[in-house]
Amino acid sequence: MKQVRRVFTWSQEDRRKDRIPSELVLLMVCRNMAEVSSGGGEQKGAEDSVDAMPWPVTSSAEGGKKVPASSGSKAAGSDPSYRYKMAYPSIGTCLIINNEKFHESTNMDLRKGTDLDADEVFKTFKKLGYNTVMFKNQKVEEMRRLLKQYSGQDHSENASFVCVLLSHGKEGVIYGTDGCEKIDTLVQCFKGHSCLSLVGKPKLFFIQACRGTTTDEGVETDSVAGQTSEKIPVEADFLYAYSTAPGYLAWRNVNTGSWFIQSLCKMLESYSGELELMQILTRVNNHVARHYESSSSKREHSGKKQIPCIVSMLTKEFHFSG
């Protein structure tokens, strides 16, 4: 396959005016990377699907185990005071909710390929040392109960908490098998006084679901120690890693799993021992943007791109390796 190199370019006038191309404008820390390859990436010929309500679709014209006992700084240039403490008996719990089948009243399709994501996530976070648990095909009320149950546990000996939600969705909401719920409502039980044993610790939510019905057409470019009491915001120390930007579809391949989750697991496997979480997630963004392009029997669904969106309220660097 012929390799095509692409890079973003802008003029001297743009530099003087401190302008950047519109393709590089950020939403939160969501990097809107443009299309950089044309071979369909890693789909292996299977058809791609989306985690949203059935079409019509609008188009974007613009296209367990213990961790090391030290939380000191091993990475070059990293100040220990800006790293989350990892000197706990356990790195924490990873809760996975994997919804594949939906009640007909929701008008939601079967999420073929989601079990591949769930299995990969389970293995990846297990290797990282998390006490990993998985639940499948949960109704809305069951999802509420699960999150409430795990937020109510004693996390005082845990360094962090991870939740992975695999389901259909739209902007601001995610689906149980019988309906939908606002994401903010689901995670509320982990905030502030509702979950004191996780205050000041990273709470990471990875969400594979659509956030709208817009497709990304892509853009052709030219080339390729001692603790003291303190008050902190209730929204602090949360990170939400969404599979796609607000308003857009998220793609999932029936034979290989979703673009975002498979890329996330691949980057965690490769870099969790050396890079900080936000650096890893930047590589996830890069991998999804560069290596994937939708392939479908329906012409209007082919040749589409995707960019994950990371919304971080973390206050320190998070290193899985401590």
Active site members: 168, 210
Give the H or E element holding residue 258.
strand 257-258
Q: 3-class DSSP state for residue 155?
A: coil
The token pair at 187 is 């995670």
Closest CA to 251 of 238, 262, 265: 262
What are the Cα distances from residue 198, in Å, to 101, 123, 158, 204? 32, 24, 8, 11
> Could you tell me the end-to-end alpha-carbon distance of the chain, in angstroms, rounded to an integer?
41
The token pair at 79 is 């100040």
Closest CA to 116 of 41, 208, 204: 208
The token pair at 26 is 């950020």
Q: 3-class DSSP state for residue 189?
A: helix
For residue 56, is the peptide bond before it cis, meaning its omega torsion is within 30 degrees of 0?
A: yes
The token pair at 273 is 């021992």
Q: Is residue 208 a contact partner of residue 113, using CB atoms and an 8 Å limit?
A: no
Q: Compute φ and ψ for 292, nearest 5 degrees.
A: -125, 145
Give 280's DSSP letter. H
Q: Is residue 284 a contact partner of residue 260, using CB atoms and an 8 Å limit?
A: yes
Rounded-to-integer distance, Cα 113 and Cα 118, Å: 9
CB atoms within 10 A of CB 107: 10
